[in-house]
Amino acid sequence: MSTPTDSSRPFGYRLAIRILRPFLMMLTRRAWSGTEHLPTEGGWVVCPNHVSHVDPLVFAHYLVDNGRSPRFLGKVEVFDIPVVGAILRSADQIPVYRESGRAVDAYRAAVDAVRAGKCVAVYPEGTLTRDPDLWPMRGKTGAARIALETRCPVVPVAMWGPQDVLAPYERRPRLFPRRTMHVRAGAPVDLSDLYDRPVTAELLRDASARIVGAITAELEVLRGESAPLERFDPRRAGITPTGRPRDLREAS
């Protein structure tokens, strides 16, 4: 499979790039690294950390500028927004029905996309990090499931900078002065020793921990500091897995 070209992307994808990329070029500075780790053929999963509601745009910018066309797994509520939802569906993105029986639909669609030779973007944390210092928190198992089912490469990606434009759960962006978006890809995570083992909850936790650990290692490079030894677990901290934590705590 050759590197995607503009003409090979779905219409909605090309439309989104035409609309959004000029704004990102104007409003941000970019520091891309690790691009040598992005596969050039076949399907694969790419896993970023999640520090801001704007980081999907930064992450997509990084991949598109390097000739890749990620298919995102995104919460279905975004697909229900008029115009935005139509563009997302036209761009071949994948809706996720969180906390419901239809969540398996996204998994099947992601597996099919990888097998069709596409790049599928999965946030292992499933939502914005709850870690007070914005380190990756304990991951969910979706990315691991897709990777073990398809035996495809899993590329960890770290981002640092989007939170300076829009901090978690804030509504007002800070566009000036222009911030630098640091994005760094790491070497594919080695899961090969897990391929022929029974898929158990323990195996999935192991695979997920490896993926999140690889993302964290790349983020340590970007931030120039070490992450906490113990990964933040929102359930153990008494924080619900989705929604705005502060509002939820006040309502309890």
pLDDT in tens, the chain (252 residues): 344 556 678 888 998 899 999 999 999 999 999 999 999 999 999 999 999 999 999 999 999 999 999 998 877 787 888 777 787 888 888 888 765 566 688 889 999 999 999 999 999 998 999 999 999 999 999 999 999 999 999 999 999 999 999 999 899 999 999 999 999 999 999 999 999 999 999 999 999 999 999 999 999 999 999 999 999 998 888 887 677 775 444 433
Q: Is residue 224 part of a domain?
A: yes
pLDDT at 5: 54
Q: Is residue 251 part of a domain?
A: no
Neighbouring C-alpha atoms within 13 Å toward the C-beta of 132: 3
Number of domains in the chain: 1
Q: By the 8 A CB rule, do 215 and 64 touch?
A: no
- Which residue range forms the structural domain that includes residue 55? 28-161+173-237
The continuous run of DSSP H or E covering 55 comes out as helix 55-65
Q: Is residue 248 part of a domain?
A: no
Q: By the 8 A CB rule, do 113 and 41 touch?
A: no
Sheet holding 94-96, edge to edge: 28-33, 179-185, 154-160, 44-48, 119-121, 70-75, 94-96
Q: Is residue 14 part of a domain?
A: no
Q: Is residue 244 part of a domain?
A: no
Q: Is residue 13 part of a domain?
A: no
Q: By the 8 A CB rule, do 206 and 194 touch?
A: yes
pLDDT at 152: 98
Q: Is residue 52 part of a domain?
A: yes
Q: Is residue 141 part of a domain?
A: yes
Cα angle at 210 between 205 and 216, to 5 degrees? 120
Q: Is the pTM of this model over 0.75?
A: yes
**166-169 contacts: CB < 8 A, separation 24 or more?**
166/52, 166/53, 166/54, 167/52, 168/51, 168/52, 168/53, 168/128, 168/129, 168/134, 169/53, 169/128, 169/244, 169/245, 169/246
